[in-house]
């Protein structure tokens, strides 16, 4: 009897888990939204091209200029695969694609990198682990593979399945951007590996290979004439301000063109040069297009026109003011023409028409930043089959066009944003109020948007004030046209709290906020008259009627999750560690409840039943908790481990309990889950094709008007929305532990 009773205590039934066929689609921004450091055209097959991003995966070009994502299958255990650090195509088979993936080489990413290989144009992939880290989102963002972190040059002879270090390669790179900061303290390593196809006959291994190494003021370019058996420094190379970025062969000319910078980029660099190396004569020529006071930037992107020998283009990597710059030469660099020039300061001659019709908001962002042409321009290519077609990547989008040859005639081209399908934003917050736009987003680097349409790019980001990054956004439960959002720039003269009374159509600074305070999380009261702000570095603060924000001393100074009640104006909730707090005096003071959040050490998110005061859900590092009495007691939702973002949405039946959406770990599986019955049963919504990257970095939002619709904001692939498209089938029931 004792044995049976004890056994009974150990058996715990998990809530029923089902899976539902969910139709996932992208919320369209249409303009990329992040850094595109590499674009490669196939020289074998017309129209085949791929673009790699630093945190948003890999994309393939379509015939209509749009792009298809290829790594959306990467889920929580493969989130680092969205950092694509290198890209190569098989020159004899355009369906064979190789990428080096990994997000960071420092402690932020515990995973070693991998080589992903595809033989079907990116439809399927085979992953081959590496023994070291790869950093697609590290400084200096760039079969032989040149590695970071002093790991040197590696070689594969079996299509990437195994790799051997080239131990006789002379240098692994000594350049470190900034040793005082973990993010910038790593060795940049090797910058490029360029094959000279003319050095070997078809079907045999390439004998001549050039490798650029991140060294400054010393030898930085090496070559081999025997397929890597021996290596030597390229003779006569420049050794001043000579960190190489791109090395491109012009085969018909027998030239190697190289762009140099005095820093690794993609943000820095104050001087550089462009050099061409005559391979047969072994001579270098400086062909830098500007000098003196006009040379205040380094050089990054570099392209040759394979159809027109002697035609080359180069991009200024870091011309931060007044705009980026691109130069074009039709005589191997003897003379150049720019994409813009000064007419009479401050008037610029812009030799292009600017077309951002696919993503109108880009025009607002670029104009505010004074840089239409762009910044961080490491990728620049000319279609090897079409001299009119060109593309280049920036820190914001992909630009290009189909009338490039007009540069040489009328000196006026169409510069168009051509990033449709590339969604690379890091999404920090989402709301879906019951009125106004169906979705509003808080986004890193590009601010945030009112999405009046989910399938059409917004016309403008949030502005007046325009925040570069919007960490969070919230709506007032009883006055849902009233919104609050915050900015992240503590150094700005703009106050980093903004209010709207018309669903985000227009905004005004909250004059109760002091300058010098930024970031964190924000909540607005049910009536819209109180703002509670958990700042990044100044603790939790509160303001009513836009009066000056004051400190909330009854809450911890950091690590606090906050939310407003959507029914009662005076009520706010907070959580920190395993403690839950409630305020009933408009956020001025909070009292800790005696009931705790179990063994939690971190409270991640709070959401509420928008129709009932005191009905609150809390996600933590140790589980999911629910209270219906303002925290007097909590129910632990069985089956959940670490849970991160949580949200309620429209109920399945009129007047029913709201759906609850969670990104978290259920039965040790990280996924996107929904419950329609207060957590008694759960439905898994993500699938093999939609992994959404890092679960802990993502945000979730239920739609308040449409049952079952959920929005997932990712850390690198923008926003997805899902609608149930099929009946649920049981996949797990009554699992015992």
Q: How far is CA 166 from CA 145, 151, 169, 173, in A?
A: 10, 10, 6, 14
**DSSP H or E segment with residue 700:** strand 699-702
Look up tokens 């957590």; give the residue. Answer: 679
Just list the catalytic residues: 54, 445
Q: How far apart are CA 86 and CA 84, in angstroms?
A: 6
Residues paired with 116 in a beta bridge: 99, 127
Q: How far apart are CA 92 and CA 90, in angstroms?
A: 5
State both tokens at 37.
Answer: 């450091």
Q: Are 86 and 101 in contact (CB under 8 A)?
A: no
State both tokens at 84.
Answer: 């694509």
Q: Are 425 and 34 in contact (CB under 8 A)?
A: yes
Q: How far apart are CA 382 and CA 315, in angstroms?
A: 13
Q: Are 435 and 704 in contact (CB under 8 A)?
A: no
Q: How far apart are CA 284 and CA 363, in angstroms?
A: 40
State both tokens at 665.
Answer: 């770990």
Q: Hey, is 254 helix, strand or coil?
A: coil
Q: How far apart are CA 293 and CA 80, in angstroms?
A: 41
Contacts 24+ apart (CB under 8 A), 66-69: 66/420, 66/421, 67/419, 67/420, 67/421, 67/422, 68/421, 69/421, 69/422, 69/423, 69/717
Q: How far apart are CA 728 and CA 16, in angstroms?
A: 12
């Amino acid at each position: 009897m004792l044995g049976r009773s004890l056994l009974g205590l150990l058996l715990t039934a998990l809530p029923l888990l089902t899976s539902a066929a969910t139709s996932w689609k992208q919320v369209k921004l249409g303009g990329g939204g992040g850094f595109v450091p590499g674009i490669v055209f196939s020289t074998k097959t017309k129209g085949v091209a791929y673009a790699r991003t630093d945190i948003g995966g890999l994309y393939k070009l379509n015939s209509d200029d749009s792009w298809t994502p290829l790594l959306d299958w990467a889920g929580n255990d493969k989130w680092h695969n969205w950092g694509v650090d290198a890209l190569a195509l098989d020159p004899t088979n355009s369906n064979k694609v190789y990428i080096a993936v990994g997000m960071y080489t420092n402690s932020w990413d515990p995973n070693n990198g991998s080589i992903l290989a595809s033989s079907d144009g990116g439809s399927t992939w085979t992953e081959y682990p590496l023994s070291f880290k790869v950093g697609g989102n590290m400084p200096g963002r760039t079969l032989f593979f040149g590695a970071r972190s002093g790991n040197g040059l590696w070689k594969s002879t079996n299509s990437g399945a195994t790799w051997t270090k080239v131990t006789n390669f002379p240098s692994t790179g000594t350049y470190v951007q900034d040793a005082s900061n973990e993010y910038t303290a790593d060795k940049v390593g090797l910058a490029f590996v360029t094959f000279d196809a003319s050095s070997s006959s078809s079907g045999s291994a390439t004998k001549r290979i050039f490798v650029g190494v991140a060294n400054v003021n010393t030898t930085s370019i090496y070559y081999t004439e025997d397929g890597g058996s021996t290596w030597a420094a390229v003779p006569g190379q420049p050794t001043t301000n000579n960190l190489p970025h791109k090395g491109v062969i012009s085969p018909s000319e027998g030239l190697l063109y190289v762009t140099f910078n005095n820093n690794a980029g993609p943000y820095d660099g104050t001087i550089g040069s462009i050099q061409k190396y005559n391979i047969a004569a072994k001579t270098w020529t400086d062909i830098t297009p500007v000098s003196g006071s006009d040379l205040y930037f380094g050089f990054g992107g570099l392209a040759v026109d394979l159809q027109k020998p002697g035609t080359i283009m180069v991009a200024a990597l870091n011309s931060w003011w007044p705009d980026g710059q691109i130069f074009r030469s039709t005589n191997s660099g003897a003379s150049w023409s720019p994409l813009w020039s000064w007419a009479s300061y401050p008037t610029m001659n812009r030799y292009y028409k600017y077309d951002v019709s696919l993503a109108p908001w880009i025009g607002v962002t670029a104009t505010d930043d004074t840089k239409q042409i762009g910044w961080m321009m490491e990728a620049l290519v000319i279609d090897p089959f079409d001299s009119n077609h060109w593309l280049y990547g920036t820190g914001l989008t992909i630009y290009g066009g189909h009338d490039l040859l007009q540069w040489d005639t009328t000196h006026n081209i169409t510069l168009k944003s051509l990033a449709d399908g590339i969604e690379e934003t890091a999404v920090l917050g989402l709301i879906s109020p019951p009125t106004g736009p169906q979705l509003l987003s808080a986004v890193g680097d590009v601010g945030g948007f009112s999405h009046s349409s989910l399938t059409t790019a917004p016309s403008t980001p949030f502005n007046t004030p325009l925040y570069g990054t919007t960490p969070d956004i919230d709506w007032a439960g009883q006055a849902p046209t009233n919104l609050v959002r915050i900015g992240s720039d503590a150094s700005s003269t703009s106050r980093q709290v903004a209010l709207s009374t018309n669903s985000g159509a227009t905004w005004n600074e909250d004059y109760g906020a002091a300058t010098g305070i930024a970031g964190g999380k924000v909540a607005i009261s049910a009536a819209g008259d109180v703002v509670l702000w958990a700042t990044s570095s100044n603790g939790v603060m509160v303001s009513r009627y836009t009066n000056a924000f004051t400190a909330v001393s009854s809450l911890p100074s950091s690590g606090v999750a906050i939310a407003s009640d959507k029914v009662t104006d005076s009520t706010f909730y907070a959580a920190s560690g395993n403690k839950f707090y409630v305020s009933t005096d408009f956020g001025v003071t909070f009292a800790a409840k005696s009931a705790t959040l179990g063994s939690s050490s971190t409270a991640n998110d709070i959401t509420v039943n928008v129709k009932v005061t005191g009905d609150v859900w809390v996600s933590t590092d140790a589980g999911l908790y629910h209270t219906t009495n303002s925290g007097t007691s909590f129910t632990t939702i069985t089956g959940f481990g670490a849970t991160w973002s949580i949200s309620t949405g429209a109920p399945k039946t009129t007047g029913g309990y709201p759906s609850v959406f969670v990104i978290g770990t259920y039965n040790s599986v990280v996924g996107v889950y929904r419950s329609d019955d207060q957590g008694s049963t759960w439905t898994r919504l993500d699938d093999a094709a939609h992994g959404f990257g890092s679960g802990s970095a993502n945000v979730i939002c239920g739609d308040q008007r449409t049952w079952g619709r959920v929005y997932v904001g990712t850390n690198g692939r923008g926003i997805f929305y899902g609608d149930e498209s099929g009946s649920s089938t049981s996949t797990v029931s009554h699992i015992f532990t």
